[in-house]
A = this chain, B = another copy of it.
Amino acid sequence: MSTAEETAGGEAQAWGEVTPDAARRLLVAAVEAFAERGYHATTTRDIAGRAGMSPAALYIHYKTKEELLHRISRIGHEKALEILQVASRREGTPTERLAGAVSSFVRWHAGGRTTARVVQYELESLGPDARAEILALRREVDGEVRGIIEEGVRSGEFDVVDVHGTTLAVLSLCIDVARWFNVGGPRTPEEVGELYADLVLRMVGAQGPTA
């Protein structure tokens, strides 16, 4: 709510479902640390320190450092998927739904940049099993966007030659927001969301008003 704190502290509300309290504090601390330094450059001592605890406390709530990343990644991907599912199943034309999906997806990547960074860019630090689980979620994410684009093509609203390639490009554009978005920068997450929704409608050749 308050725009004063927009770091992971401000994003903490997204982790409200995680209990008990100490486990959540550790998770939020891990998100901050992983986003700043990357998974491999983050030490368990750093995570515990940010949460105001001793290094050993981490291992009461999590078996390994990797389990922290795994949990963060799964919760984050589930949230991202949920955002797209809600947007995709709303009433409206494919044009309206694609614009809504892109703008809310981008808003999440920009506003929750700290979390999104970890979710989108630390995937390869996971072990094979955890990575496979997350990749399944990503295929679902992909499917939601492709579904809207396919509908728009069928209805004649969109003009797209390569549906898979365009889907990939749209998602890629949205995801990369987490890499470059700067909280102190000139744009708000909402502004980027609107700009990107417009750009994506142009990419798919939407007929309606694009601005």
Q: Which residues of A approach B to under 8 Å, CB–CB?
A: 37-38, 40-41, 121, 124-125, 161-162, 165-166, 168-169, 172-173, 175-177, 179-180, 187, 192, 195-196, 198-199, 202-203, 205, 211
Contact = CB atoms under 8 A, between A and B. Distances in A.
A202 to B, nearest CB: 5
A178 to B, nearest CB: 10
Contacts of A125: 38, 41
A211 B38 contact: no
A206 to B, nearest CB: 10
Which 10 A-B residue pairs are closest in the complex by CB-CB distance?
A40-B40, A176-B176, A40-B41, A172-B176, A165-B195, A202-B202, A199-B203, A173-B173, A202-B203, A169-B199
Contacts of A195: 162, 165-166, 169
Q: How many copies does the complex hold?
A: 2
Main secondary structure of the interface of A (DSSP, over half): helix
Contacts of A162: 195
Given A172-B173, A173-B172, A176-B175, A199 B166 contact: yes
A177 B173 contact: no
A186 to B, nearest CB: 8
A194 to B, nearest CB: 10
A165 B187 contact: yes
A211 B125 CA distance: 39
Nearest to A171: B180
Contacts of A121: 121, 179
A40 B180 CA distance: 21
Nearest to A175: B176
A37 to B, nearest CB: 8
Given A38-B125, A161-B211, A179 B172 contact: yes
Contacts of A172: 173, 176-177, 179-180
